[in-house]
Structure 1
Amino acid sequence: MRDFARLVDLIEGIVDFEHGPNISPEGLSKGYTHAVMITFSSQAFRDAYLIHAAHLAFVARLKPWFDEVLVFDYGI
Structure 2
Amino acid sequence: MPVYCVKLVKTSSPKFMHNATSAGKLPTWSYTYYDEEEPTKKGSFDINMTRNMAGDENKQSKQMNDAAIALVKSKHTGVSVRLVK
TM-score clears 0.5: no
Instruction: Indicate the structure with greater strand content.
Output: 2
TM-score (norm 2): 0.28
